[in-house]
Amino acid sequence: MTRDQVQSVHDDIAYMKALAQEGRRAPLLGGSVLVAAAVIFGAATVGQWMMVLGRIPNGGWESLSLWLSAAAVFVIALIVLIRRIESACGGASAMNRSVGAAWSAIGYGIFVTWTALMVFGWRTGDWGVMALMPTVVMGAYGSAWMVVAAISRKAWLNVVGLISYAGAVVLAGLGDPLLIYPVYLVLLIAVALAPGLILVRGATKKAG
């Protein structure tokens, strides 16, 4: 083996060691995305609740416009936040890439389920099925948190996942829209806003 080849092997080993060390040191990013999701969809939940209470007119299209607008705002926020995460220290680590992939898959699943329920409601005229969406979202959040907990080895995230799962069951058992939306809002704070803020704080501390 020539000297250049030996040097190349040493460089490759050094690069792999640097990646491993970065992965161990990297903070768990993505908390800002959770905060954005909680704030944006929390606001939409309040709007939907006001419609159910009759304080905001709702002929059907208003509710659809509300959630589509919330989704559009979130997508814009997501694009901006993902760029920041990717450029942040540790953004390219295997852990953060895996966590990002997990949340992306969950997000796509929620969107596809929402679209499927919309199609079902349009075809059958039974829009009551949309009341299942909060349950679907909480169940999806539970699965995401369990995966993230396993990847990051942060045990407390398992608790957040269990709260999400329990919330999904509670929401399914309520039935009354007057109760579903305020309870869903509380759950968004518990399983998205609060842990998101904790992760943002942890990432800021580690970066400092």
Residue 142 CB contacts under 8 Å (≥ 6 apart), including other chains: 161, 162, 163, 164, 165, 167, 168, 191
Checking if the pLDDT of 99 tops 50, the result is yes
Q: How far are the Cα atoms of 16, 146, 147, 153 from residue 150, in angstroms, in the given order?
A: 23, 6, 5, 5
pLDDT in tens, 131-164: 899 999 999 999 999 999 999 999 999 999 999 9
Asked if residue 30 lies in contact with residue 96, where contact means CB atoms within 8 angstroms, the answer is yes
Instruction: Between 60 and 20, name the one with better pLDDT.
Output: 60
Is the full-model pTM beyond 0.85?
no
Whole-angstrom Cα distance, residue 41 to residue 66?
10
Chain centre to alpha carbon of residue 144:
8
Binning pLDDT at 50, 70 and 90, where does residue 165 land?
Answer: very high
